[in-house]
Amino acid sequence: METIRLRTSHLWFLLVIVAITMAIMEYGGPQEEKGTFLLTIVFWAGILQGAIAVVAVTDLIEARWIDALREKLLSLYPLLYFLLILFLIFIPRAGVFPWTAHPGAWLNETFFIIRNILLLLAACLAARFFARAALRRDSGTKRWAVIYLFIFVASQSLVAFDWVMSLEYPWISTLFGAFFFVEALYGGLAMAGILFFSEPRPDASFPVKAAPRDIGLLLFGFSVLWGGLFFAQFLLIWYGHLPEEISFISERINSPLYRALGYAFLAFNFFIPFLVMISRKAKGQAGVVAAVSGVILTGIFIERIFYIGPALSLNEGAAFFQTVLMFTAVLAFVNNRNEFLSRLAGKDAA
């Protein structure tokens, strides 16, 4: 079936419809279910920022496999502006955080809103300038890659500390920020694996078989890194045995539902990618890499539920529908990337 082609203005109109739909779902549904919208933003902030970060890292190290996916992944940069819009929609819900009852110098609503808006905007602008430089292949590509990665690390660390960890205030994990930006890169690689499979012949001059092999190898490596960081975080909490730290774990493992979700995302994010991608043959098959990538993204989504669900009530149907809407937006921008990416790379780019 032929792909529907949309103009750039149509893509932005699609995002407006998605934003309005999500806002209606958030504020028109049951008022006690206040965590679904935050779940959506936290999950997609990692995946979308991580996808751009994958291009930035591979451009810095001059990895050739990214040539097969550069335009696809960079076509997601406009959705970072959409994340900013979603955060603005979320602002009336800022009172869901427990620290709002006893605000401090760092954790107070005004400063929370200002710093997150500024950092999300900085990520949008850095991604745009990096995408333009990367598409032009000009001398500023590596400079903008470094700038974007710096903002990416800061942004994902703030997502971890501000949006997730502070839901369990005063629970503290010093590794949470590092865990989140590594996981965002992991999710960005998983998105790359899915997008490559959706169009396996992006460039006849490029050795296509190299891309899934390299993506599979990186997914294998990141599964080990993810598992190591997860265990290190758990080990520090277990060894310290401090009440303000173990409360987060005990609340979840004492619930049959969240204990099962914990086992699920451990399997999806570590065991399955590790066991499948350890095979050299599996790494070279785009279908296998895409399937494992889908498992990883599912695992990250389940993990976000594991973090947010006990602190805020969730609407499972709304969460699923919002995820479908976001995937629709992703596919729309990827499949209609030629017009707005060519304008971005051109001298007359706005």
Kindly report, residue by residue over 168-203, the tens digit of the pLDDT.
888 888 889 999 999 999 999 999 999 988 764 544
**Spatial separation of the C-alpha atoms in residues 27 and 24, rounded to whole Å:** 5
- 96 vs 4: which has the higher pLDDT: 96
Q: Is the confidence at residue 241, as pLDDT, over 90?
A: no
Position of tokens 């991604």? 127
Q: What is the pLDDT of residue 59?
A: 95
CA distances to 155, 194, 271, 292 from 223, rounded to whole Å, are 22, 17, 8, 11
Q: What is the mean pLDDT of residues 217-244?
A: 87
- 337 vs 147: which has the higher pLDDT: 147
25-29, 167-171, 202-206, 298-302, range with the lowest pLDDT: 202-206
The first and second tokens of residue 22, run together, are 């999500």
Q: What is the pLDDT of residue 181?
A: 95
Residue 230 neighbours by CB under 8 Å, 6+ apart: 179, 266, 269, 270
Residue 305 neighbours by CB under 8 Å, 6+ apart: 39, 261, 314, 319
**Spatial separation of the C-alpha atoms in residues 249 and 306, rounded to whole Å:** 10
Q: What is the mean pLDDT of residues 237-265?
A: 85
**Spatial separation of the C-alpha atoms in residues 30 and 33, rounded to whole Å:** 6
Q: What is the mean pLDDT of residues 318-324?
A: 93
The first and second tokens of residue 311, run together, are 């602190």
Exposure string of 47-63, with b = 16+ CB inside 10 Å and e = fewer, is bbbbbbbbbbbbbeeee
**In angstroms, how far is the first alpha carbon of the chain from the final one?**
33
Position of tokens 């190591």? 228
Q: What is the pLDDT of residue 115?
A: 97
Q: What is the pLDDT of residue 209?
A: 59
**Spatial separation of the C-alpha atoms in residues 215 and 193, rounded to whole Å:** 6
Give the domain ranges of the chain. 8-334
**Spatial separation of the C-alpha atoms in residues 141 and 350, rounded to whole Å:** 18
Q: What is the mean pLDDT of residues 27-31?
A: 73
CB 265 within 8 A of CB 302: yes
Q: What is the mean pLDDT of residues 334-348?
A: 81
Q: What is the pLDDT of residue 284?
A: 85
Q: What is the mean pLDDT of residues 268-279?
A: 96
The size of the chain, in residues, is 350
Residue 260 neighbours by CB under 8 Å, 6+ apart: none
Kindly report, residue by residue over 30-59, the tens digit of the pLDDT.
666 789 999 999 999 999 999 999 999 999
Kindly report, residue by residue over 83-136, the tens digit of the pLDDT.
999 999 999 999 999 999 999 999 999 999 999 999 999 999 999 999 999 999
CB 208 within 8 A of CB 284: no
Q: What is the pLDDT of residue 164?
A: 95
Q: What is the pLDDT of residue 191?
A: 96
266 pLDDT band (50/70/90 cuts)? very high
The DSSP letter of residue 5 is P
- 172 vs 11: which has the higher pLDDT: 11
94-108, 215-229, 243-257, range with the lowest pLDDT: 243-257
Q: What is the pLDDT of residue 338?
A: 85
% pLDDT > 70, the chain: 92
CB 160 within 8 A of CB 24: no
**Spatial separation of the C-alpha atoms in residues 55 and 294, rounded to whole Å:** 19
Cα 85 versus chain centre, distance = 16
Query: Smallest Cα–Cα separation from 188: which of 322, 88, 330?
Result: 330
214-218, 236-240, 294-298, range with the lowest pLDDT: 236-240
Handedness of CA 8, 10, 11, 17 (dihedral sign): positive
Q: What is the mean pLDDT of residues 66-79?
A: 94
Q: What is the mean pLDDT of residues 257-275?
A: 96
Q: What is the pLDDT of residue 245?
A: 74
In 208-348, alpha helices (H): 210-240, 243-253, 256-266, 272-277, 280-283, 286-308, 316-335, 337-345
Residue 186 neighbours by CB under 8 Å, 6+ apart: 50, 219, 222, 223, 225, 226, 269, 296, 300
% pLDDT > 90, the chain: 68
